[in-house]
Structure 1
Amino acid sequence: MTDKLKVALITEWHPFDVVNFQELFRAYDDIDAYPQAWDIFAQDVSRDSYDALVFYNMSFPAPPEDDPRRRYLEGRFGNTGQGIVLLHHAILSYETWPFWDAVSGTKDRRFTYHGEQELRCRVADNQHPITRGLDDFTVVDESYAMAEPAEDNEVLLTTDHPRSLRAIAWTRTYRDSRVFCYQSGHDDTTWRNPSFRTMLHRGIRWTAGRLH
């Protein structure tokens, strides 16, 4: 397939199943994904060449003033029009830094987590390109009990599970970039779920301006 999306997969600190995570992205025949450490990406001279950035980092604390990650975030980040995807624990990064509040659309990211929960996900907006035509589905995943995203987000998926925040997926705009936040995605149990794969695929394409 020609004209593939070029996607950076950005990771830091949190351990994960590297092999199956990469297999997840290899299954998308219209995406070329490039896994890399967050500090390496922040210093890459070609970082603006990606169509979308998928953050799968869990970074603490806020980087110091002279850190390349902070210089990039407070400078170029969001001003290039590149898509931004915050996947699973990336939403929790920089827990007390207002900058990441603005990116993620959350104001309070203190949390508790619960592994292997059966989450019934309900489509909250069936007109959005990411969820259009998608049925409600169930996924086994790690859940986060935390405050809901702010009111200036568009919520796409919800759950009523007592050990989870209600919003599972939402979109927003940060500077000149579309942002897709998806609370799901802990491990291969989730990654193999067809509906999860559809949501993530569409979310990446939507942030990159390829899905309307």
Structure 2
Amino acid sequence: MSRIDYTSDLKLLISVKGHPYDRNAFAELFENIEDVSYTIVEQPASQAMFSPILAKDYDVHVLYDMPGLDFTTQPPSLIDPPEKFVSDFEDLLELGHGLLFLHHSIASWPTWPKYAEIVGGRFLYVPSELRGRPCMDSGYRHDVTYTAKTHSWGALADGVPDTFSMTDELYLYEVFEQDVIPLLSGNYPPISDNFYSAAHAGLGRMFSNADWPHPQGSNYLAWAKSYKNSPIVYIQMGDGPSAYENPHFQKILSNAIAWLGSAESLAWAKKRNQS
């Protein structure tokens, strides 16, 4: 979009960079959502937009970025988030602001433990500790065709069929199932035989699961939760055009944006924070 949209009901700030993606196809997703305008800002410049002063001009922050990992080394080096960004982010969460995390954003800031608590899980590129226990590196698999099941939960499920087919990259990752409200789950078995090791890939051994006995994982593909006074949605879908073009993914995305930008979701998160 070349023109500036001053009139849309909802304004999005979209943070990107850190993982390859089709920029034009990704932007087209948001062009097609009615009454929504968006501004795409790349990392690390987008970190400034989490300051509550700058964030107030937007209704929802969408994270499709993956900062905190330097892939110029093997294995990738882990980078700490700047102190000001952490402080701004936590202030924004306390104030109350809708946050939508997409696909690879769940791997961001691996040295910041609270980030996983905010999102509701973690994709690990290297073995690490999570919630006080050792965890193996996570798994990935591209171009999987599977059936997604919708978990009915208010407006987030409106217009989405009970089940639908999807072709996309899937993760074998850590999900804090007890802390989230499932929105979507998949029927592709989350076991190590079906995925490749992220740590192997980080060492240049793509598409390998040798000597990688990862325990069975979660089949959750999307969830809702809150952190402090902020409503949060994570959607694991969205690796590339095969996902972007799926009408059911488009509907889930637009539902999540509408809900996160509503007074209802902010009141819901605040109430949960007070209970």
Contact 2:99–2:232 (CA<8 Å) still a contact in 1? yes
Counterpart CA distance in 2 for 1:157 and 1:199 is 10
Structure 1 match to 2:249: 196
- 1:129 paired to 2:155: yes
Deviation at 1:112, TM superposition (A): 1.2
Match of 2:46 among 41, 48, 54: 41
Contact 2:140–2:170 (CA<8 Å) still a contact in 1? yes
Counterpart CA distance in 1 for 2:109 and 2:177 is 17
Match of 1:172 among 219, 225, 238: 225
Match of 2:86 among 44, 63, 70: 70
Identity %: 24
Deviation at 1:62, TM superposition (A): 5.0
**What is the identity, as a one-letter code, of the residue corresponding to 2:225?**
R
Deviation at 1:119, TM superposition (A): 2.0
Contact 1:117–1:142 (CA<8 Å) still a contact in 2? yes
| Structure 2 SS opposite 1:77 | helix
Structure 2 match to 1:186: 239
Change beyond 3 A, Cα 1:41–1:96: closer
Unaligned runs of 5+ in 2: 69-77, 125-136, 195-216, 266-275
Contact 2:153–2:183 (CA<8 Å) still a contact in 1? no
| Structure 2 SS opposite 1:185 | coil
RMSD: 2.2
Q: Point out the structure with the larger helix share.
A: 2
Change beyond 3 A, Cα 1:65–1:6: closer
Counterpart CA distance in 1 for 2:183 and 2:117 is 19
Change beyond 3 A, Cα 1:26–1:108: closer
Unaligned runs of 5+ in 1: none
Counterpart CA distance in 1 for 2:33 and 2:140 is 29
Deviation at 1:3, TM superposition (A): 4.5
Change beyond 3 A, Cα 1:65–1:144: same
Deviation at 1:96, TM superposition (A): 4.3
Change beyond 3 A, Cα 1:26–1:210: farther
Match of 1:138 among 152, 162, 165: 165
Structure 1 match to 2:143: 116
**What is the identity, as a one-letter code, of the residue corresponding to 1:186?**
D
List per-residue Cα deviations over 1:165-192 (Å, max 9, x = no partner): 4000100001111000000000111001
- 1:53 paired to 2:106: no
Contact 2:11–2:59 (CA<8 Å) still a contact in 1? yes
**What is the identity, as a one-letter code, of the residue corresponding to 1:12?**
K
User: What count of residue pairs does the alignment treat as equivalent?
Assistant: 209
Change beyond 3 A, Cα 1:169–1:196: same
- 1:151 paired to 2:182: no
List per-residue Cα deviations over 1:121-167 (Å, max 9, x = no partner): 0012x242111452111110000012333301000111120247400
Counterpart CA distance in 2 for 1:50 and 1:17 is 24
Contact 1:63–1:69 (CA<8 Å) still a contact in 2? no
**What is the identity, as a one-letter code, of the residue corresponding to 2:169?**
E
Counterpart CA distance in 2 for 1:159 and 1:64 is 32
| Structure 2 SS opposite 1:79 | helix
Structure 2 match to 1:81: 96
Structure of greater Rg = 2
Structure 2 match to 1:101: 116
| Structure 2 SS opposite 1:200 | helix
Which shows bigger deviation, 182-191 or 7-16? Answer: 7-16
